[in-house]
């Protein structure tokens, strides 16, 4: 069996086309959704991510407010900027690109963002709401994974999902979303013993680790759905956490890197920003 590719670019383009229509209508009613994007320092990968996010905003008509700060920025300065953006009615979403330079405490910075503008869904209020099954801003990458599965009508309820990685940004919120979708969920991490014994039992296997080709063919059950969140920069280019060519021979579905989960991440950011703008009009944050 050769796996079918889960085409993230195609699905993201569909999401963005629908969002563009909604944004156009909203603008006609006098409201332009706005996203403030803060980048501290000059990390090359972060610059690419931030540039892509701003470009995607423009493409659907969302206003983007870029804030580029020098690597030596002090915490007080950054917190003051976030305070001003919290109070700015033209700004509906605030995104602080991670990782931050060492002198800045990412937890304190994230907690300074108004949860109603936390379109990345990293604020503990949103993480807690998600865990409690309440409407919340859901982190974009795990939300994108769920959207991709839904776009291909891949059933989740009752299936065994194994998530490799337990970060606050990807693994943990994805566990919550899979549970909410009635999967039986196992979460593996750096201290898991005999990772393959777990991954081999997965109907849906998600790798969110950051180790090139960690998931090899012998670790995948024939017919499984394999979602590769990893982005690893190697001399030969970008690769995921999954040995794509070999795993493709046994899986039923697989995401490529690039062109899988990444484009959905950005599409979900735009979706969250639109939801934040609508919530400011008396709605509420819409979870997935």
Q: Which residues bind ligand NAD (CB under 6 A)?
A: 141, 164-167, 169-171, 188-190, 192, 195, 208-211, 214, 229-232, 261-262, 265
Distance CA 53, CA 263 (A): 10
Q: Cα separations (Å) of 264 from 113, 268, 271?
A: 23, 6, 10
Q: Which of 120, 203, 228, 241 is catalytic?
A: 120
Q: In angstroms, give the least distance from the CB of 71 to ligand NAD.
A: 20
CB count in 10 Å sphere of residue 153: 6
Q: Is 53 a catalytic residue?
A: yes
User: Using alpha carbons only, what angle is made at residue 209 by residues 203 and 215, rounded to the nearest 5 degrees?
Assistant: 50
Shortest distance (Å) from residue 257 CB to ligand NAD: 8
Q: How far is CA 204 from CA 51, 164, 247, 254, in A?
A: 32, 11, 13, 10
Q: What is the dihedral of CA 84, 89, 93, 95, to 10 degrees?
A: -20
CB of 176 to ligand NAD, least distance (A): 14
Q: CB of 195: closest distance to ligand NAD in angstroms? A: 5
d(CA 140, CA 265): 5
Active-site hit among 97, 221, 241, 271 = 97
The nearer residue to ligand NAD, 69 or 98, going by C-beta atoms, is 98
- Check if 182 is active-site: no
Cβ proximity to ligand NAD, 26 vs 209, nearer residue: 209
What residues have CB less than 8 Å from 122, skipping those under 6 apart?
110, 139, 168, 169
Residues forming a β-bridge with 110: none
- C-beta neighbour count of 230 within 10 angstroms: 25
Cβ distance to ligand NAD smaller for residue 116 or 231: 231
Largest Cα separation within the chain, whole Å, is: 56
Of the residues 53, 172, 221, 271, only one is catalytic, namely: 53
Is 97 annotated in the active site? yes
Shortest distance, CB of residue 118 to ligand NAD, whole angstroms? 16
How far apart are CB 49 and ligand NAD at their closest, in Å?
A: 8
Reduced to 3 states, what is the DSSP secondary structure of residue 159?
A: coil
Query: Which spans in the chain are helix H?
Result: 8-28, 44-60, 75-87, 106-112, 124-131, 140-151, 171-180, 195-199, 244-247, 261-279
Q: Provide the annotated active-site residues.
A: 53, 97, 120
């Amino acid at each position: 069996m050769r796996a079918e590719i889960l085409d993230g670019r195609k699905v993201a383009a569909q999401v963005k086309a629908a969002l563009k229509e909604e944004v156009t209508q909203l603008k006609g009613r006098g409201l332009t959704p706005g996203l403030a994007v803060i980048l501290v320092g000059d990390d090359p990968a972060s610059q690419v991510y931030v540039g892509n996010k701003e470009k995607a905003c423009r493409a659907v008509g969302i206003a983007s407010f870029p804030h580029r700060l020098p690597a030596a920025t002090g915490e007080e300065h950054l917190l003051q900027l976030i305070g001003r953006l919290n109070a700015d009615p033209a700004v509906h979403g605030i995104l602080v690109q991670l990782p931050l330079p060492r002198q800045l405490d990412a937890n304190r910075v994230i907690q300074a963002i108004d949860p109603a503008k936390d379109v990345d869904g990293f604020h503990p209020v949103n993480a807690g709401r998600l865990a409690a099954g309440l409407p919340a801003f859901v982190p974009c990458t795990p939300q994108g994974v769920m959207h991709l599965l839904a776009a291909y009508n891949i059933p989740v309820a009752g299936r065994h999902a194994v998530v490799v990685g337990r970060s606050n940004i990807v693994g943990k919120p994805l566990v919550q979303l899979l549970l909410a979708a009635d999967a039986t969920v196992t979460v593996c991490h750096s201290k898991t013993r005999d990772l393959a014994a777990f991954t081999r039992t997965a109907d849906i296997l998600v790798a969110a680790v950051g180790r090139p080709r960690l998931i090899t063919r012998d670790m995948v059950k024939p017919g499984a759905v394999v979602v590769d969140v990893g982005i690893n920069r190697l001399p030969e280019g970008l690769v995921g956490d999954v040995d794509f060519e070999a795993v493709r021979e046994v899986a039923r579905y697989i995401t490529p890197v690039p062109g899988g989960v990444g484009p959905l991440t950005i599409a979900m950011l735009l979706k969250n920003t639109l939801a934040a703008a609508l919530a400011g009009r008396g709605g509420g944050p819409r979870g997935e």
